[in-house]
Each structure stands twice: as structure tokens, then as C-alpha cells.
Amino acid sequence: MVGKTPFSDSELIISRLEGDDFRALADFSCGTECLDHFFHHEIELCAKYKYLSPYCAKINGEIVGVFTLATDTLMLESDDKEDFLNMTDEYKDIFSRQTSFPAVNIGHLGVKVGMQSKRIGEQIVRFVIETFRQFNGAGCQFITVDSLNNPRTNAFYGKMRFMNQSHNDSTKSTRRMYLDIFLPFEEIEAEEA
């Protein structure tokens, strides 16, 4: 999964984190202690044992964003399924009978201090959505995220149209959120987290 997206006068290049990129993370900080600890001490080992796949976003060769992807399953209650207005009539019956849905999880998303509020996080999320809309190797109907439970991060994912899966985690350190992969981009508006 490699892609280029426009960013100001240069290009944001998204690619798998490998080799020297892991060492370059020693200088990377998103300003969130738990994420920085993960990037500096755990991400490479988690990738080695296939717990996740690590990616980075670069501008002019500098890592400005880091995120991980992992396969996931989204469990939805009957009441939650009623929220899907984009569902085509031909698929509604099948969709309504399912209890779990294939998903990809965006994890550990961090944008470098000094590069935040420049829509890099939004471009990363849009890149993941578009990639999995086109991916034909396995089913994927939703993007999930376990958002750090703070106003700024929750607002970012909320503006990207992610929905809270439950209200039971409102006081926990992370909130489980999900997004319909077929939601049109023009309905997704966000400001950088």
C-alpha cells in the first residue's frame, strides 16, 4: 500500500514503515506520551510478529505521520444497523441479518509535532478509506479506530464521520469508533487532529 497525495507544494507519500524508517522514528514525536512510547519501543516488534502493519507518511523524505493497520471485525446491534442510509436496497436484507462485519483498524495514528493541524491526519484516513474501497483481496465494509478519549481526537474522528460504537467506553482511555467504508468523501469533512 503506497500512495501519493497532494500536500501544499509537495507530496505526502504514504508507504509501509521498513528498515531505516524504524530508526528514524527515534526523532519522531506526536506529543502524546503513550503513542510516542509505542513508536519508539514497540512498533517494530509488533510488526515482526504480524500484530499490525506499520505505515508512515513522508513529506520530502521526512516522516510526518505514523499509523498502523490491522484486520478487525465490527459487531453491530440491530439498532445500530438502522443508521446506514447509504445501503442499497439490493443488499439491505443481507446486511440486516449479519451480526459481524469485516473491517480494517487504523491504530496508533500520530502526526509529528509542528505538522499538526495541516490536514495530514485527514489525508491518511482518506488514503486508507480509498485503498480499502478498491482492495479486492478480502472483504472490508468498515474502518474502525480506538480513538484516544480526549476532546481533540474525538472531534477529529467525529468530523470524519466516525460513529461511536458504544457509550459504555465514554470514560475509558479510548473510544471505539467506526466508519462505513462506502460513505461518500464529499460527506466527510474534517480538521486535523
pLDDT score, position 3: 57
In angstroms, the CA 55 to CA 190 distance is 21
Residue numbers of the chain with a pLDDT score lower than 50? 8-9, 190-193
What CATH number does residue 84 fall under?
A: 3.40.630.30
Which of 182, 188, 190 lies closest to 141, judged by CA? 182
Burial class (CB in 10 A: 0-12, 13-18, 19+), 131: middle
Collapsing DSSP states into helix, strand and coil, what is residue 187?
helix
pLDDT score, position 186: 63
Overall domain count for the chain: 1
The identity of residue 9, as a single letter, is D
pLDDT score, position 192: 40
In angstroms, the CA 126 to CA 117 distance is 16
pLDDT score, position 191: 40
pTM of the model: 0.86
For residue 117, tell me if it sits in a domain.
Answer: yes
Could you list the residue range(s) of the whole structural domain that residue 41 is in? 3-187
pLDDT score, position 77: 77
For residue 193, tell me if it sits in a domain.
Answer: no
pLDDT score, position 8: 47
For residue 192, tell me if it sits in a domain.
Answer: no
For residue 90, tell me if it sits in a domain.
Answer: yes
Q: What's the pLDDT tens digit per position in 143-178?
A: 999 999 999 999 999 999 999 988 888 888 899 999
In angstroms, the CA 92 to CA 71 distance is 24
Burial class (CB in 10 A: 0-12, 13-18, 19+), 143: buried
